[in-house]
Each structure stands twice: as structure tokens, then as C-alpha cells.
Amino acid sequence: MHMKGAVFNGPGTPLQIAELSVSGPQPGEVMVRMTASGVCHSDYHVVLGEWAAQTPLVLGHEGAGIVVEVGDGVTDVNVGDSVALSWTPSCRRCLYCVSGRPQLCTSAVQNAYRNVLPDGTTRLSRGGDPVYSYLSVGSFAEYAVVPESGAIKIADDVSPAIAALVGCAVTTGVGAAMNTVPVAPGSTVAVIGAGGVGLSAIMGARLQSPATIIAVDLSEEKLELARRAGATHTINARETDVVGAIKEISGGDGVEYAFEAIGRAGTIEQAYAALAPGGTAVVVGQVPSGVKISIDPMAMSGRELTLTGSNYGSSRPSVDFNRILGLHSSGALDLELLVGDRIPLADINEAFTAMGSGATGRTVIEFP
């Protein structure tokens, strides 16, 4: 079968809309017709050359669609089901999977992070040569073939844009504040970076009723969205000393929880420096390969500070996608506020330009 997909051929070149061949699902795989895909900064890291990736590659890992074909042995989903895609297609057998941490699945790390399916190959090609699918998803294309465990059945009435965002930003951010480090009621929280992931972290934190949520960004538009998401205070990092302002707002000591949702050394260091004694900084943002941070171990011991990381919101996609969607339909989470421009696949390069400017909400590609 043939389809259109946005192909990344290497850093510094725009994605190219190309005609690709897609072969049917092998045993344990499903083919999905995409209905929507969000554009995440983790795609942008690859576009910018900040993370190495084999090419040609169909980017996109925040997707939703309808199952159109299932391979032998697939039991989780049927043709016609609506699904949101997970970029940790867990093996369900390794230590991490069986101990309830499928976001750390060994097989997902080995295969999805190499942009291949669990058998080490890809279902996409162009002129007979393999084309890879980012994180075993590749949602910037009309169809995707994914492992069964990467296609999570959801209700048919969920809007495609919302289902897509649950596939990455929402689960990552909400989960960081609910699963990785559950925020305590009445506590103080800072979220540095109010993009798709940071705004979701604000919403996830708010569900647990902290007293204070301080949002930090460079863009006034993002800070306005942060207030709508539940931030009680906002700081524009362009104008203000971030650590000093967080300490002042939180009464002098700093915050109990600080989430970094950008992926820069300097802002991770800010999150850590903004902690009150006993506080926890959570690295959600992902830095360009090789970037290191500098922290003071003396302060770490003397003030009992914790620095931790969060992958995919420490979530279990097969359960948490639908829990989060339930919180959205009950009104506890307003995921619509994350959605910015809705564009056709052909405009994908403009979405990255917009992301680089930092001022707009999450761009969502909608497929006809």
C-alpha cells in the first residue's frame, strides 16, 4: 500500500512529504490509519540534530487513529477500534514491565529508541529502501504499523487531537506530577517551561491541590495558558531572576517540588536551586545529547534535596491513557487548552518554526 508521510532526511533540511510504501502488520502488530498527531519537542530535537537518529525517518510519536488491520495473534484491539499510540511499546515480560514500570521496558528502549519494531525491522520503505518510524510510531504519516502494546484502545468519541496529545505531552506532564513524584496537598510547586509537557504538569499538579503552582516561561502567551491550566503565579524568565522570584513567591525557602519541562542545563539547575530543604526536582525535559548539568552535592546532602527524572510520566499507557481521558471527560482536566493550530500534514515544517518561537500552543496535524 502507498501513503504520504513526512520524511526526515537529516538535520538542517526540512521534512519532505513523500510517497511511501507501507506493508501489512506482522504477527503482534497492528496497522493504524492516523487521525491526528501532535508535534512534540522530542521531534524537534531530532530535526535540530540535537539527537542522532537513523534516516530516512518518519517523525511523530504523539498520535491517534483507527485500527485498519491486525496481524496474527493480536487480541488487544480489533479493526475499527480507536487507539492512542504509545511510544514505549512494552514487552510485558521484562523486569520493568512485570514490576509495573513499562515506561522503562528493556525491549522498548532497545527497539523503539532505534526507531524499529520489536523484530528489528520497519514496515515502511521508499524505492525499496527502509524508512524508519520514530519511536516505533511515526505518526507524521497517513498510516503507522505499531506493536500491539503500542496501540491503546480508547473510546470512539474522544476527539482525535485530544487522543493524540494523550500519546505524549499529556501523559508525560500529568504523570510526572501524579506518578513520578505525587504532589502533596497544600504544597508548593514550580513548573519551568509551559509548553505541551509543562502545561500538562501544571494540570496534573493541580489535581492534587497544592497551595501554590508557579509557572515559568519566556512567552506571555504560554504564561496565560499556564494560568488557565491552574498556575497561581507566573514568572517571565525574560524579565525576572527565576530562582529569586520562586523563592520570594514561596515564602523564602523555595518550593517543595520543581518540574523542569524544557530540556536545558540552565533551567534544570534553576529547578534544583529553587528547592526548599527536603524538596524534589524532577527532570522531565530532555537535553541535547551530551549536555551535562552542575549541582552542588554539599547542598544536596545538607538540605536533603532530591533530583530525579521522569520518563513518559512514569505511566502505564495501557491504563493511564484511559484514566487521563476519564479525567478530561469529567472536567477535572481541560486538555483542549493545550491545542494550538490545527494543520494538514503538508504544513509540518511550519509547526517546527512555530515551536522554535515558543509562543504558540501545541500544533496538531489533522488527517482528513
Query: Could you say whether residue 122 binds Zn ion (CB under 5 A)?
Result: no
Annotated catalytic residue, options 37, 40, 82, 315: 40
Selected from 179, 212, 267, 280, the binder of ligand NAD by CB under 6 A is 267
Is 105 an active-site residue? no
Query: Could you say whether residue 219 binds ligand NAD (CB under 6 A)?
Result: yes
Site for Zn ion in 180-209 (CB under 5 A): none
Distance (Å) of CA 289 to CA 53, 264, 265, 292: 11, 11, 11, 9
Q: Which among 341, 348, 342, 340 has a CA at the least distance from the CA of 5?
A: 348
Do 131 and 146 touch, CB atoms closer than 8 A?
Answer: no
User: C-alpha grid cell for residue 163?
Assistant: 487522543
Alpha-carbon distance 15 to 4, whole Å? 12
Is 42 an active-site residue? yes
Site for ligand NAD in 153-212 (CB under 6 A): 168-169, 172, 192-198
Query: Could you say whether residue 339 binds ligand NAD (CB under 6 A)?
Result: no
Is 2 an active-site residue? no
Alpha-carbon distance 346 to 157, whole Å? 26
Residue 195 touches which member of Zn ion, ligand NAD, none, C-beta under 5-8 Å by kind: ligand NAD
Is 294 an active-site residue? no
Residue 284 touches which member of Zn ion, ligand NAD, none, C-beta under 5-8 Å by kind: ligand NAD
Query: Could you say whether residue 96 binds ligand NAD (CB under 6 A)?
Result: no
Is 45 an active-site residue? yes
Site for ligand NAD in 32-51 (CB under 6 A): 40-42, 45
Residue 94 touches which member of Zn ion, ligand NAD, none, C-beta under 5-8 Å by kind: Zn ion
Q: Which among 256, 239, 237 has a CA at the least distance from the CA of 177?
A: 256
Residue 45 touches which member of ligand NAD, Zn ion, none, C-beta under 5-8 Å by kind: ligand NAD
Name the site residues for ligand NAD (rule: CB under 6 A): 40-42, 45, 168-169, 172, 192-198, 216-219, 222, 237, 261-264, 267, 284-286, 310-312, 355, 358
- Catalytic positions are 40, 42, 45, 61, 168
